[in-house]
Chain A
Amino acid sequence: MTTRAHTLNLPLLGGLASLVVILLLIGGAFVALLLAAADIDIGAVVGDSYIRHVVGFTVWQAALSTLLSVGLGVPVVRALARRPRFFGREGLRYLFAMPFLTPVIVAIFGLVAIYGVSGWLNRGLDLLGSAQDFHLYGLAGILIAHVFFNMPMVVTLLLPRFEAVPADSWRLAAQLGMKSGAIFRVIELPLLRQTLPTIAMLVFLLCFVSFVVVLALGGGPQATTLEVAIYQALRFDFDLGRGVSLALLQLAIGAGLFAMTRLLERQMPLMPKLRSLVARPDAAGRLGRALDLIVIAIAALFVATPLAAIVIEGILGSVGHLVSDPRLQLGTLRSLTIAGCASLLCGCLALGISMSGRQRPGRSPRWSGLLQMASVSGLVVSPLALGTGLFLLFRPVVDQPWIAYGLVVAMNAIMALPFGLRTLSQAVADAAREDDRLCGALGLSGWNRWRLIDWPKLRRPLGGCLALAFSLALGDLSAIALFGRDGMETLPLLLYQQMGAYHMPDANVTAALLLILNFACYAAIAAGVGGRARR
């Protein structure tokens, strides 16, 4: 111990630095809100019958959305895992990463174009002679939108875990003559038990804080989430006390859930992996193959059609004169800049946190629980409350463009951190488990270890993390709407302005551009940093 004490523990320092940054920003925001609030009466908020109704509905729709997203996502993951090679599979991975990254307002364009009163679905039903129209609005609309956003995310997060099942397991399963059911019980179920709680929690929390979707497709205030109540308190009534109380209530529910899933989640070290893909014994058979492809096709269609509708409507808009529009060009440049900075900041924070969780065996990572907690805070802290708090905190200097840009970047990085971390931390932990002893024996540490051992293994998840944060920040409207000013218009803000000025065809073009840019940047960063898939 003593011989080690004098060497700098860089990962731990990085983690602590990340923790300090996050806690300062979030804690500072809440302290500022609490200080500015005249009176805070959490009891009154909890006792309010309307708020109880809101919490009830928020939890109900989030639970249903989670159930559907996970329930529909798992069969897709299974089907994809059984078919490791077919044309367009890599493309599907990118497609499934998209909905989650699509700005909500843009996604609603697409969903309405498909499932709306005069959407493709109802026109198709008309062609089939059905007099019955499908109605998007209400709980159905909320659920469709939430499944659209989250089912592909479940697939994206779960598939790598399925693919990481060691080849030995499949050989053994084949030797034992295991059928599909037995494979599910013996191999897949334990895997799901290990990974699903966190993924389900992630989905639940996302639906829990959902705001624009619920308002636009919910059909009325009977479908209201806590986030809307926070909006009303902070942006409309300027009742800081009520706003903070609601935000704390939301934080408490979210943190409680997070703590619960940590208890459920079993840390199950994976065997050292032989990464060559072995054909799964349950992959053979024509019927299974056909079923898998049908499942994959339906999922792909469900995800692709709204996105396609956005692009098609965009092309039908006034593409020509818009592309040469300097506002659009500048907006694109600003969006890319903000997203780039937010992505780098998020990547640094996520790396710092994941690496610090990697301790020498035998020493319990005392910080890691706190670190993980702080890092999911981006999910459970209301963006509205965070933004308002940061505004109060930086009030004297918030009109400085660099401060405003800095705050937009910081807010986006914190909001993206839970997702970035999700893609990174497990990989870091796995890599540590696999390589710690070897590195210890070889005396590899610090930069050399990073360069030779960690980087080749971690570049792929790191690329995913950076790409994810980049795309999320690219679609941000909440931070920029708060801190932005004249000459800071980003693409989502421009989109909002075009819609506000009756320029719907232009808005369609901007929405399509935003989507395509999002897709291109995500793929470029994921591939550029992550390198080619190692097969």
Chain B
Amino acid sequence: MRHFKSFAVLAAISIGLGLGALGTAAADTPTLRILTYESFTSEWGLGTAIKPAFEKECGCKLEFISVEDGAALLSRLKLEGASSKADIVLGLDTNLTAETAATGLIADHGLDLSRLDLPMAWADKQFVPFDYGWFAFVYDKTRLPNPPQSLADLAKGDAKDKIVIEDPRTSTPGLGLLMWVRKVYGDKAPDYWASLKPRILTVTKGWSEAYDMFLKGEAALVLSYTTSPSYHLIEEKKDQYAAGDFAEGNYLQIEVAAKLAHAPQPALADKFLAFMLSPGFQSAVATTNWMYPAKTPAEGLPAGFAAPLPKDKTLLFTPEEAGQGRRAWVDEWLKAMSR
């Protein structure tokens, strides 16, 4: 039956390709598994950049398991529970650490973190920060000559200059803005959201869609980071992008990693957390993750990289405040934005 050949060929190709492409990783070297978000493990990501150095140092294999967004990490941890094969979770931020710690799945790091270069002292016994950055509204100077100088400005600006933001239910920048507004406006946050709503073009699932829309000229402003223009300047030699530092201050994101209590390779996990604060990791942070290294490397930040904001312009809830408020504030945002 000639016609069945097509069937058979399809099957054979599938299986053949499968065996070839999928491959298996059966080796005797121990494997350290890190649960993290997509952009960490992509070709241009921080994870890919530091992988060879760490594998050489530890004589082990580094394997990443990735979820779409940092916002999905906590639920992934809960989903996997104690049966997780991961040793380390990397990419949560301080808005999510209190709830993560409450799962009982996180172990102590045992590191001395008194000499980091964060905008504030760090005393957490479980989470190790590896980079930080401020959320900001990014714009194109050639298209927006009079950018907003504050959150208040942002809501008052020309309704024709639209803003794209991310959904706080599905992405960490979206959650960051929620915290930012709450920090500045407190219980008046719903009123602020109501006043901002006419300027919002759309609310995307993740940072990628939002930033893509901005670059394609759909919106005048996008919720991103103060360091986003540095990417365009350093990698693309384009200097027309800028990020607003606002009069009220900008909300800080500190990205952290932690060892899991049930880590199959606890010793390797400890090694990785220590490596994470070494120059081999920290000097790759700026131009891969486009954030500030938690411990500035000796050579400093790369030329053209945006200068950090001053400490008194830094807004941040404690992990406990953020953890307690999160659900109620998301609901409040939903109500205000659905009206």
Residues of A within 8 A of B (CB): 50, 53, 105, 108-109, 112-113, 116-118, 137, 141, 212, 215-222, 224, 228, 231-232, 234-238, 327, 330, 333-334, 336-337, 340-341, 343-344, 388, 391-392, 395-396, 399, 401-402, 405, 451, 455, 459, 466, 481, 484-488, 493-494, 496-504, 507, 525, 528-529, 531
Q: A504-B215, A507-B212 are in contact. Are A236 and B14 (CB under 8 A)?
A: no
Known A219-B202, A238-B78, A481-B38; 4 more pairs at CB < 8 Å = A112-B218, A222-B339, A337-B21, A486-B41
Q: Is B11 an interface residue (CB 8 A)?
A: yes
Residues of A within 8 A of B67 (CB): 481
Residues of A within 8 A of B265 (CB): none
Instruction: Give the docked Cα–Cα distance between A466 and B43 (Å).
Output: 33
Q: A220-B337, A238-B75 are in contact. Are A481 and B216 (CB under 8 A)?
A: no
Q: Is B20 an interface residue (CB 8 A)?
A: yes
Instruction: Give the docked Cα–Cα distance between A343 and B327 (Å).
Output: 41
Question: Which stretch from B2-10, B179-187, B246-254, B269-277 is at the chain A interface?
Answer: B2-10
The 4 closest A-B pairs by CB, nearest first: A340-B14, A497-B42, A499-B208, A500-B39
* CB-CB contacts below 8 Å: B280-320 with A: 290
Residue from the list B14, B80, B162, B231 in contact with A117, Cβ < 8 A:
B162
Residues of B within 8 A of A232 (CB): 169-170, 330
Q: Is B120 an interface residue (CB 8 A)?
A: no
Residues of A within 8 A of B232 (CB): 502
B211, A212: Cβ atoms closer than 8 Å: no
B68, A496: Cβ atoms closer than 8 Å: yes
Residue from the list A50, A216, A327 in contact with B334, Cβ < 8 A:
A50
Q: List 27 A-B contacts (CB under 8 A).
A: A53-B338, A112-B218, A116-B213, A116-B217, A116-B218, A118-B218, A137-B201, A137-B202, A220-B197, A221-B203, A221-B334, A231-B169, A237-B327, A238-B78, A333-B20, A336-B14, A455-B1, A486-B41, A486-B63, A487-B23, A496-B68, A499-B209, A500-B206, A501-B42, A501-B43, A502-B228, A529-B10
Residues of B within 8 A of A112 (CB): 213, 216, 218
Instruction: Give the docked Cα–Cα distance between A512 and B24 (Å).
Output: 30
Residues of A within 8 A of B18 (CB): 337, 341, 405
Q: Is B261 an interface residue (CB 8 A)?
A: no
A116, B10: Cβ atoms closer than 8 Å: no
B201, A238: Cβ atoms closer than 8 Å: no
A235, B75: Cβ atoms closer than 8 Å: yes
Q: Is B226 an interface residue (CB 8 A)?
A: no
Q: Is B125 an interface residue (CB 8 A)?
A: no
B208 to chain A, nearest CB (A): 4
Closest to B236 in A: A502
B83, A395: Cβ atoms closer than 8 Å: yes
Q: Is B235 an interface residue (CB 8 A)?
A: yes
Instruction: Give the docked Cα–Cα distance between A528 and B13 (Å).
Output: 14
Q: A117-B217, A337-B22, A451-B1 are in contact. Are A220 and B203 (CB under 8 A)?
A: yes
Residue from the list A117, A224, A238 in contact with B219, Cβ < 8 A:
A117
A222, B337: Cβ atoms closer than 8 Å: yes
A238, B22: Cβ atoms closer than 8 Å: no
Q: Is B242 an interface residue (CB 8 A)?
A: no
Residues of B within 8 A of A220 (CB): 197, 200, 202-203, 337-338
Residues of A within 8 A of B201 (CB): 117, 137, 219
Q: A337-B21, A486-B64, A497-B38 are in contact. Are A531 and B3 (CB under 8 A)?
A: yes
B218, A485: Cβ atoms closer than 8 Å: no
A236, B208: Cβ atoms closer than 8 Å: no
Q: A219-B202, A344-B11 are in contact. Are A336 and B17 (CB under 8 A)?
A: yes
Instruction: Give the docked Cα–Cα distance between A116 and B327 (Å).
Output: 33
Residue from the list A212, A231, A343, A391 in contact with B79, Cβ < 8 A:
A391
B72, A498: Cβ atoms closer than 8 Å: no
Instruction: Give the docked Cα–Cα distance between A494 and B208 (Å).
Output: 12
B contact residues, total (Cβ < 8 Å) = 78
B11, A502: Cβ atoms closer than 8 Å: no
Residues of A within 8 A of B13 (CB): 336, 340
B63, A485: Cβ atoms closer than 8 Å: yes
A529, B212: Cβ atoms closer than 8 Å: no
* CB-CB contacts below 8 Å: B37-66 with A: 38-39, 41-45, 63-66
Residues of A within 8 A of B216 (CB): 112-113, 116, 118
Q: Is B167 an interface residue (CB 8 A)?
A: yes
Residue from the list B14, B290, B333 in contact with A344, Cβ < 8 A:
B14
Q: Is B205 an interface residue (CB 8 A)?
A: yes
Closest to B21 in A: A333
B74, A238: Cβ atoms closer than 8 Å: yes
Q: Is B207 an interface residue (CB 8 A)?
A: yes
Q: Is B331 an interface residue (CB 8 A)?
A: yes
Residues of A within 8 A of B63 (CB): 485-486
Closest to B4 in A: A455
Residues of B within 8 A of A221 (CB): 167, 203, 333-334, 337-338
Instruction: Give the docked Cα–Cα distance between A215 and B206 (Å).
Output: 10
Residues of A within 8 A of B195 (CB): none
Closest to B333 in A: A221
Closest to B37 in A: A500
Q: Is B177 an interface residue (CB 8 A)?
A: no
Closest to B45 in A: A501
Instruction: Give the docked Cα–Cα distance between A216 and B67 (Å).
Output: 20
Q: Is B126 an interface residue (CB 8 A)?
A: no
Instruction: Give the docked Cα–Cα distance between A14 and B207 (Å).
Output: 46
Residues of A within 8 A of B331 (CB): 50
Instruction: Give the docked Cα–Cα distance between A113 and B212 (Å).
Output: 11
Closest to A336 in B: B17
Instruction: Give the docked Cα–Cα distance between A501 and B42 (Å).
Output: 8
A481, B68: Cβ atoms closer than 8 Å: yes
Q: A221-B333, A395-B81 are in contact. Are A108 and B24 (CB under 8 A)?
A: no
Q: A215-B203, A238-B75, A500-B208 are in contact. Are A528 and B6 (CB under 8 A)?
A: yes
Q: A221-B167, A525-B10 are in contact. Are A216 and B209 (CB under 8 A)?
A: yes
Closest to A234 in B: B75
Residues of A within 8 A of B338 (CB): 50, 53, 220-222, 224
B10, A466: Cβ atoms closer than 8 Å: yes
Residue from the list A333, A392, A487, A501 in contact with B44, Cβ < 8 A:
A501
B334 to chain A, nearest CB (A): 5
A484 to chain B, nearest CB (A): 7
Instruction: Give the docked Cα–Cα distance between A391 and B79 (Å).
Output: 8
B254 to chain A, nearest CB (A): 19
B28 to chain A, nearest CB (A): 18
Instruction: Give the docked Cα–Cα distance between A231 and B74 (Å).
Output: 14
Residues of A within 8 A of B14 (CB): 336-337, 340-341, 344
Q: Is B335 an interface residue (CB 8 A)?
A: yes
